[in-house]
Chains A and B, each alone.
Chain A
């Protein structure tokens, strides 16, 4: 998760290599917690939309010869159901089950639109493993292009010094 967070933090800052790395990670190790930043990148940086389609196509095409593609896709839903019941699940879904998504998805979309990627990642995930909370650190990273950030998001929410 540390490497995902590293790519995410720099991607949010606008680093092209990190954006590419993050998109590759989203395709290779997809987790619901990665969705808000993925959506934000594809929304705010349209130039990355087709490259992401290419990355996904490449990952799927290279998964076919392994014979595991079907099992992998099936594991997406199985994982969610299983991990909601995980003893370490910190999400409200631990108490209300998948019903949390009725609140979590709209909340995550709203937070993403407001530029609150860290909180959006927490909200939209059907389950929240303890080490995933690292993604909250994205709240402390300011996008390089301030126009891409939500209007009300001020420097007051950012800690520094920032490099790059």
Chain B
């Protein structure tokens, strides 16, 4: 094995190990949130944003609510939330299947299973 090949091997091992480790941390974190909250924080935010949009309080954050997206998106999220959380979760698996690499999709399967679980605002 040449020095170049060895270097490439080390680089590959480092990158793959780092990514897998990072994703493992992500999975543990997400599992903690899901067990604690049962559903995606993003979902609750979307429901609340759609409700607040006509009230003029879209950006009045109050833990755990926090909306950061463009304001014109809030009514669209209202339509989305009307479709139901099951559709939202299924859409994540469809997105997973559409990724350009199947191994990448497999790597992201666990985070996706939580259904776009997000993190609450500052507690």
- CA gap between A141 and B15 in the complex, in Å: 12
Q: Which chain B residues lie closer than 8 Å to A63 at the CB level?
A: 70-72
Distance between B122 CB and nearest chain A CB, rounded to angstroms: 5
Q: Provide the B16-41 mask, 1 if CB < 8 A to any CB of A, else 0.
A: 10110011011001100100000000
Q: Are B122 and A137 in contact, with the CB atoms below 8 A? A: no
- With A10-B100, A140-B19, A141-B101 known to touch, is A5 a contact of B26 (CB < 8 Å)? no
Q: Are B104 and A9 in contact, with the CB atoms below 8 A? A: yes
Distance between A113 CB and nearest chain B CB, rounded to angstroms: 17
Q: Which chain A residues lie closer than 8 Å to B92 at the CB level?
A: 2
Chain B contact residue count (CB 8 A cutoff): 51
Which A-chain residue is minimally distant from B98 (CB atoms)? A6
Q: Are A136 and B22 in contact, with the CB atoms below 8 A? A: yes
Which residues in window 79-107 of B have CB below 8 A to A? 91-92, 95-96, 98-104, 107
Contact of A159 among B30, B71, B101 (CB under 8 A): B101
Contact of B100 among A13, A68, A83 (CB under 8 A): A13
Instruction: Report which B residues bind A (CB closer than 8 A).
Output: 8-9, 11-12, 15-16, 18-19, 22-23, 25-26, 29-30, 33, 53, 56, 58-59, 61, 66-73, 91-92, 95-96, 98-104, 107-108, 111-112, 116-123
Extra A-B contacts (15), CB below 8 Å, given A83-B121, A157-B12: A2-B96, A5-B99, A6-B98, A67-B56, A68-B59, A72-B59, A75-B67, A79-B66, A86-B120, A88-B29, A88-B33, A88-B119, A130-B26, A140-B104, A157-B11
